[in-house]
Amino acid sequence: MQRFAATWKRSVSSGRGRKRPAPFCGAMRCNACRPCSLTPPSRPVNAPPATRPHLAFFVPTLAGGGAERVVVTLANAFTDAGHTVDLLLTSRRGPLSDRVSPRVSVVDFGRQRTWHTVPALVRTLRRRQPDVLVSALFGATVAAYGATSWMHARGERVPPLCATVHAPLPRTDAQGLRARLQVRAAHHALRRADRVVAVSARVARDLSTHAGRSRDRIDVIHNPIDVDAVQAGAQAPSPHDWFRDDVPVIVSAGRLHVQKAHRILLRALARLREQRPVRALLLGDGPEQERLEAQSRRLGIFADTSFLGFVDNPYAFMARADALALPSAAEAFGNVAVEALACGTPVVATASSGGPVEILRTDSAAYGALVPPHDPPALAEALAAAIDQPADPQRLRRRARDFDVAVAVDRYRALFAQLARGASLLA
């Protein structure tokens, strides 16, 4: 890494990067580097106007996270609408692979690291010539920007880059040179992308504050939720014996990661368990599972807590739960909150992050409970209230329709058409 940094500084000082910018020249500049003069990589050559633009979605894997689900949902929806759609993957692994429509053209780069896909991504863009390139997750955005920058510097046809942001922005004070370079690269790519889509207003403000992208150059499009598919999945047979008893069941769905704050949920459950019978089903896997299982044993609630790992149909669980708990320390959007509403299930979430607040609150109505982050007593109290005073399921289902896939697709369609049209005019 030190050798890389030294080589890069020499290239900047010699002017090589400014004459012929390598992908990392502008993206990974340090404070010693003057602002890169590279024009944003968005100027296709001889691109015909397209009524249904050819779309390429780039995401590292098909893991079961929210961003990956969004990409699969959009790819399938645009394919159904008559668009040619490519799904570009660093590696085709993850449980969502089976959910991709057979009409979507999948390109598997077969790499371990997303940055290593840049040469293959360049070749694919040359061959497929999409009208718009859509990236999801920071690694994919950096790689997409690197590939399109390199192509632009060579005078090649380059599709406009639309970067979608599904998570809180990483901070520039990261520990270690490699981490700081990665964060700077992400910030730079997001500043220079043709369009940036944030999944919530909170993420948009974060981008404007920390990445330096003007707020008026950020679109807010909430994650698309296929409400009909969720409700169809909710009709599946009861997936767990606990739903056949009278004891209330709380469900949590999400990756077992420290950011999701499952440890706070377990402490709240222990507190609630002192007052009444209650059980919890945790759906999802992740690096925190062993620690959480050990914590549940220490708290004396292991027998009433079940760690089920990734489940293909979480909606059958949500529909039968007395409440869905979303205790995350930070949540860019919170797909599971909308999915629970679509099932008619009350939601209790933390108010620290933007997505759940935007989902559960409007100027005139509340559709779920919001509690302070890292507050087990408040979370326990709100869960008890959700169990004892359940909300009107039909009202919750109507709210979920505000985030239906058709709403998001209409907004993305207009955005993609604008990008493709602008690129054609500049050809």
Contact 194, 44 (CB under 8 A): no
Is it the case that residue 319 has pLDDT exceeding 70?
A: yes
Give the C-alpha separation, 256 to 158, whole Å. 39
Give the C-alpha separation, 280 to 270, whole Å. 11
User: Residue 104: CB partners within 8 Å, gap ≥ 6?
Assistant: 75, 76, 79, 85, 86, 87
What the block records as the tokens of 104 is: 């979507």
Is it the case that residue 396 has pLDDT exceeding 50?
A: yes
337: helix, coil or strand?
Answer: helix
Give the C-alpha separation, 218 to 213, whole Å. 8
Contact 97, 87 (CB under 8 A): no
Q: Give the per-residue pLDDT at 352.
A: 73
Residue 150's pLDDT band, with cuts at 50, 70 and 90, is: very high
pLDDT (average), residues 195-211: 90
Q: Which of 134, 16, 46, 19 is nearest to 83 (CA)?
A: 134
Give the C-alpha separation, 377 to 265, whole Å. 10
Which of the four CATH numbers 3.40.50.2000, 3.90.1200.10, 3.40.50.300, 1.20.1250.30 does domain 227-402 have? Answer: 3.40.50.2000
What the block records as the tokens of 214 is: 């003007």
Q: For 130-146, how does the pLDDT look when each residue is reduced to its tens digit (9 = 90+)?
A: 999 999 999 999 999 99
What the block records as the tokens of 138 is: 């920071």
Q: Which of 109, 175, 104 is nearest to 144 (CA)?
A: 109
Segment (H or E) for 40: none
Residue 182's pLDDT band, with cuts at 50, 70 and 90, is: confident
User: Residue 190: CB partners within 8 Å, gap ≥ 6?
Assistant: 141, 163, 165, 169, 196, 207, 211, 213
Q: Give the per-residue pLDDT at 3.
A: 44
pLDDT (average), residues 269-285: 96
- In terms of residues, how long is the chain? 427
Q: Give the per-residue pLDDT at 358.
A: 94
The CATH number of domain 20-32+50-224+406-422 is 3.40.605.10: no
Is it the case that residue 407 has pLDDT exceeding 50?
A: yes
Contact 39, 31 (CB under 8 A): no
Ramachandran angles phi, psi of 323, nearest 5°: -165, 155
Give the C-alpha separation, 231 to 229, whole Å. 5
Residue 372's pLDDT band, with cuts at 50, 70 and 90, is: very high
Q: For 322-349, how does the pLDDT look when each residue is reduced to its tens digit (9 = 90+)?
A: 999 999 988 889 999 999 999 999 999 9
Ramachandran angles phi, psi of 224, nearest 5°: -80, 130
What the block records as the tokens of 332 is: 């860019």
Q: Give the per-residue pLDDT at 345.
A: 98
Contact 17, 145 (CB under 8 A): no
> Residue 404 carries which DSSP code?
B
Sign, Cα dihedral of 133, 335, 73, 137: positive
What the block records as the tokens of 294 is: 């050990």
Is it the case that residue 33 has pLDDT exceeding 60?
A: no
Q: Give the per-residue pLDDT at 316.
A: 97
Contact 409, 71 (CB under 8 A): no
Is it the case that residue 18 has pLDDT exceeding 70?
A: no
Q: Cβ atoms within 10 A of the Cβ of 10, count?
A: 11
Give the C-alpha separation, 39 to 53, whole Å. 23
Averaged pLDDT of the chain: 86
Is it the case that residue 114 has pLDDT exceeding 50?
A: yes
> Residue 45 carries which DSSP code?
S
Contact 354, 377 (CB under 8 A): no
- Percent of the chain scoring above 90 in pLDDT: 70
Contact 345, 324 (CB under 8 A): yes
Angle subtended by helix axes 262-273 and 376-388, to nearest 10: 60
Q: Cβ atoms within 10 A of the Cβ of 238, count?
A: 12
pLDDT (average), residues 217-229: 94
Parse the chain into domains and list their residue ranges. 20-32+50-224+406-422, 227-402
Q: Which of 199, 192, 189, 190 is nearest to 219 (CA)?
A: 199
| Torsion (CA) 141, 146, 152, 156 in degrees, nearest 10 | -90
Contact 139, 109 (CB under 8 A): no
Give the C-alpha separation, 175 to 177, whole Å. 7
Where is average pLDDT lowest: 167-181, 184-198, 273-287, 410-424?
167-181
Q: For 40-98, how does the pLDDT look when each residue is reduced to its tens digit (9 = 90+)?
A: 444 344 444 457 899 999 999 998 778 898 999 999 999 999 999 999 999 998 889 99
Q: Do domains 20-32+50-224+406-422 and 227-402 have the same CATH topology?
A: yes
Contact 426, 91 (CB under 8 A): no
Q: Give the per-residue pLDDT at 354.
A: 77
What is the reported pTM?
0.80
